[in-house]
Amino acid sequence: MKFLITTIIVLQATVSFAQTKDTVYVYGPGGPLSAMQDCAKAFTAKTGIPVKVTGGPESKWISQAQANADVIYGGAEYMLTQFMQTHPGVIDVSTRVELFKRRAAILVRPGNPKQITSLKDLAKTGVKVLDVNGAGQLGLWEDIAGTENLIGGIQKNIGGSFANTALGIDAWKKDQSYDAWITYASWHENLKDVTQLVELPLSSRLYRGTPIALTSNTKHAAQAKQFIQFLQSADGHMIFKKWGWE
């Protein structure tokens, strides 16, 4: 009996080690994180290959990623390009592909107390706008406002600019004086309790992509490629659509 128990413990330890060894490690910003995590769960259920997705500001995961990352994704094409410039040699450029696009929109407070229905409303007196000047949103509001000649009007109403979305969300939740935020419609899916979505007209709507690539030193190239192929599949696309992508 003692021998049997010892054998079971050894087998369990061996399985646990194998799962850790075979895990595909994925890193990237917080924007696509919910969709990526859902895709990882679906992929693991389908293939048995474990995938661990870590997302958020780069500073929180870069050291770990440099040690074990198999896949890196971005919240916009420029983000992955910047990552490659900042960390040369980490990304296998030949494996870079585009997943799905997401549209920009306006987030307002639940019930829309300031009755914001268009970009012009963001330039009105008494409207306070939150800005994220980075993390996939660099220049986002300016590109959109320029389509309606509203750059100056909206700029004067920006009450605070933040380096990443995590900081922006924290400010939005803590400071009720912010009335609106030009960001991605996908963020509403994560913030339904504190936001309401106002869509932009097609003439002013802006999209950005979701790039992804293998790392140069991946230890699980075959499994990581399988995961990216799943992301590109109809099943992966359906999950991204659930989280606000096109």
Note the pLDDT tens digit of each residue in 56-79.
999 999 999 999 999 999 999 999
Number of domains in the chain: 2
Shared domain check, 146 and 69: no
Nearest of 207, 243, 245 to residue 34 by alpha carbon: 243
Question: Per DSSP, which regions of 1-116 are E strands?
Answer: 24-28, 51-55, 71-73, 97-98, 102-108
Interval 7-15 mean pLDDT:
40
Give the pLDDT confidence of 33-56 residue by residue, as tens digits. Answer: 999 999 999 999 999 999 999 999
Shared domain check, 86 and 165: no
Shared domain check, 85 and 14: yes
Domain harbouring 106, CATH code: 3.40.190.10
Structure confidence at residue 134 (pLDDT): 85
Question: Per DSSP, which regions of 91-174 are E strands?
Answer: 97-98, 102-108, 129-132, 158-162
Q: Is 172 exposed, middle or buried (0-12, 13-18, 19+ CB in 10 A)?
A: buried
Structure confidence at residue 15 (pLDDT): 40
Structure confidence at residue 21 (pLDDT): 61
Shared domain check, 111 and 66: no
- Answer yes or no: is pLDDT of 13 > 60: no
Asked if 182 contacts 206 with a C-beta cutoff of 8 angstroms, the reply is no
Shared domain check, 84 and 115: no
Structure confidence at residue 90 (pLDDT): 97
Shared domain check, 172 and 201: yes
Structure confidence at residue 203 (pLDDT): 87
- Answer yes or no: is pLDDT of 130 > 70: yes
- Answer yes or no: is pLDDT of 83 > 50: yes
Shared domain check, 165 and 83: no
Shared domain check, 119 and 70: no
pTM (2 decimals)?
Answer: 0.85
Give the pLDDT confidence of 20-30 residue by residue, as tens digits. Answer: 568 999 999 99
Owner of token pair 């890193």: 27
Nearest of 122, 111, 121, 129 to residue 196 by alpha carbon: 111
Shared domain check, 138 and 20: no
Asked if 107 contacts 64 with a C-beta cutoff of 8 angstroms, the reply is no
Adjacent-strand bridge partners of 102: 208, 245
The amino acid present at 42, given as its one-letter code, is A
Question: Per DSSP, which regions of the chain are E strands?
Answer: 24-28, 51-55, 71-73, 97-98, 102-108, 129-132, 158-162, 180-184, 196-198, 207-208, 211-214
Shared domain check, 149 and 122: yes
Shared domain check, 129 and 90: no
Shared domain check, 214 and 96: yes
pLDDT, the chain, mean: 92
196-198 and 71-73 strand pairing: unpaired
Structural domain span for residue 89: 2-100+210-242
- Answer yes or no: is pLDDT of 9 > 50: no
